[in-house]
Amino acid sequence: MTNVLSLRLPAALEQAIRNNAARSKMPVPEIVRLILEHSVDGQYSFPALRDVPQSLDAKLDVRLPADLITRIRAASQRFQVSISVYSRVILFAYYTKRLVFVEIGGGYTLAENHEQKKSA
């Protein structure tokens, strides 16, 4: 079973997601699913991430597995934000390279990009 996650995003972020999906030859919902799935137990501090500074002039609707929506909702409730805000913050952090995929224990998760901090 799947549910729709509706996200309000800056147009530039929506385009970055669509471009990434096209380059990867994957559907947009699959790209979003991979990022959000690995964010739930990621190695980063959510409160340290910031929301997008641009206006939210685009909308992206993605159909995701219901169990993933449940896990994302639980994570967002821990930080007292809506599921859409949590998802937008994670996607923004990923596409601005504040979060990256890292391999831990034979699997992947999202973690802070320490290389970006060094160059900042």
Q: How far is CA 103 from the centre of its chain?
A: 17
Confidence of residue 82 (pLDDT cuts 50, 70, 90): very high
Q: What is the pTM of this model?
A: 0.92
Residue 78: how many CB atoms within 10 A of its CB?
A: 9
pLDDT, tens only, 50-73: 999 899 999 999 999 999 999 999
pLDDT, tens only, 85-100: 999 999 999 999 999 9
What is the domain partition of the chain in residue ranges? 2-119
53-55-57 Cα angle (round to 5): 145
| 36 pLDDT more than 60 | yes
As its CATH architecture, domain 2-119 has Orthogonal Bundle (1.10)
